[in-house]
Structure 1
Amino acid sequence: MLVETDLSPREQQIAECYAAGASYQEIAADLHIAPSTVRTHLSTIYRKLEITSKVELANRLNGVTAAPRSEIDHAAIISELALSLEDALSREKALSEVLRIIGAAQGDLDRVMPAILRYALDLCDAEFGILFEYRDKKRFHASFTLGIPAAFQDWLDDNGTFSVSDQTGLGRMVTQRAMVNIMDVKSEALYRTDDPLRFATADLGGARSFVAIPMLAADRLVGAFTIYRQSVRPFSEDALRLAQMFAAQSVIALENARLIDQREQTT
């Protein structure tokens, strides 16, 4: 692509890779720079070219002239880019902090898990979260919670390790070994039955939108990372990607704790 632009050689290189479909991580690996540096370059590229999407970027690189924008449009673009960059930096900072806590905690899950849940709830704009440890045969135990309403917490404490039905979010997650994203827990037929977990989730917890993410160590299911919103606000793709990242960090923390416990028993 030899289209005349105001981009530097490095910016041109990144723009072409991104427009061709490469991810931040792939570009960073090819150019031996950090993913955050790729994001910063893309923010500059978008501002210079006065574009707001990858489609527009590809068009500009292929010589398609963009329609003139008003000053209001320019301000909107700059504001959106600034917010996107801030979001990206917040995510990176949160994940870095979680990894630091995991590394320093020496298997202390009581220190690690609340931090993971706190960052997940903040970045995913959710009211409460639960980390369920998986026992077997569709049985779960709520090992860590954050922000959960007292009535739902009491229900979990009273029930300890409990079984879930196939129709619940957790039950479907076990069967599918995949993320289950429910737009509104009260809209499903299960809510109109006497399923105890769905009653506790919706009526005691006040949850409406919900996502359950399997926590896998290799092929072994070790738990479920769940976050809840108390209004009907489905989780976006960005929020789900974030939640999956925090679920992965939770697996790391659990496996670290297990290995440290094994080592101490051996010695």
Structure 2
Amino acid sequence: MSARELEIAQSYAGGQTYHGIAERLHIAPSTVRTHLATIYRKLEVSSKLELRARLEGDGAPNGSRTDHAAVISELALSLEEAIGRERALSEVLRIISRSRGDTEAVMAAILGHALELCDAEFGILFEYHGDRQFSARFTRGIPQSFRSWLEAQDVFAVGNATGLGRMETAQDVVNIVDVRAEDLYKTDDPLRHATADLGGARSFVAIPMLSGDSLVGAFSIYRQQVRPFNAQATALAHTFADQSVIALDNARMISELRTLGGKA
């Protein structure tokens, strides 16, 4: 293995996530996964436990698996990722059930897991105020200059051609390959320029947050490279958006119950 592969192997075997390794090494999480697939293939291992054992000098490659090493490494990583997704979703539901209306903690957890599992750099939960009006209610990993811009706007109107505007109209997922490649970036639209120039965003997906038939917000995650979100990442983001709605509805009901209790 190369020095970089060894470093990634040791970090992953030690319990670090793709996102954590990527952040420390200043590479994309997808690059970490590519390295791990190569490492699994070279060492002929099929799990994190086997990887740790090989790094500690225990176990030996199984020669009979050599011809199938690439398939084995891909299946092994895919299984570990699936297990990780299930654990993250279960953890979010656990946090929601015990939150007692603390939306800040819940949303920080939801956005954190969404960024990790969807391989994104930052995320924003926009609250919808009706008639194309939004505000950035919760954020995670967002560049400070973009955060400051959003805070200064407070509640702001969006144009029809923006990701949020299109999402509101269709009440469906909007997946933008490259925010700078769209014609909107060539205009003076303030949100698009803030997203691209202050946030450094290139690819992003916006998921409508629906409570019943009513739009209550947008769950948006961003990549700072042109790497479109595939169907699996978009589906995961949709799940986190739904969990966000559940958390907000729970917080609202808890607040109403406390108000009624205080009047009793």
Range of TM-score over shorter length: 0.7 to 0.9
Q: What residue number does 1:247 align with?
A: 241
Corresponding position of 1:221: 215
1:197 aligns with 2:194: no
Q: Tell me the residue number matched to 1:123.
A: 117
Deviations along 1:115-137, whole A, 9 cap, x unmatched? 00000000011000000011110
Quote how far apart the aligned CAs of 1:261 are. 1.2
Q: Supply the RMSD in Å over aligned alpha carbons.
A: 1.0
Q: CA deviation at 1:244?
A: 0.6
Residues 92-139 of structure 1: per-residue CA shift (max 9 Å, x gap):
000000000000001110110000000000001100000001111011
Q: Equivalent residue for 1:176?
A: 170
2:258 corresponds to which letter in structure 1?
E
> Partner residue of 1:211?
205
Name structure 2 gaps, 5 residues minimum.
Answer: 1-63
In structure 2, distance between residues paired with 1:73 and 1:215: 46
Corresponding residue to 1:132 among 105, 126, 136: 126
Alignment deviations for residues 63-117 of structure 1 (CA, whole Å, 9 cap, x no partner): xxxxxxx954411111111111001000000000000000000111011000000
Structure 2 residue 228 is matched with structure 1 residue 230: no
Question: How far apart are residue 146 of structure 1 and its match?
Answer: 0.6
Q: How far, CA to CA, are the matches of 1:221 and 1:146 in structure 2?
A: 22
Alpha-carbon deviation of 1:265?
1.6
Choose 1 or 2 for highest CA Rg: 1
Match of 1:39 in 2: none
Q: Secondary structure at the match of 2:255?
A: helix
Distance 1:105 1:258 in 2: 12
Distance 1:187 1:73, change over 3 A: farther
What secondary structure is seen at the aligned counterpart in 2 of 1:153? helix
Hey, which bits of structure 1, 4+ residues long, moved more than 6 A? Answer: none
Q: How does 1:146-157 map to 2 (within 5 A)?
A: 146-157=140-151
Instruction: Name the aligned partner's letter for residue 213 of structure 1.
Output: I
TM-score (norm 2): 0.74
* Cα distance in 1 between the residues matched to 2:66 and 2:230: 27
Distance in 1 separating the partners of 2:71 and 2:199: 39
SS at match of 1:105: coil
Q: Which position in structure 1 is the counterpart of 2:87?
A: 93
Picking from 155, 173, 176, the partner of 1:161 is 155
- Where does the alignment leave 5 or more consecutive residues of structure 1 unmatched? 1-69
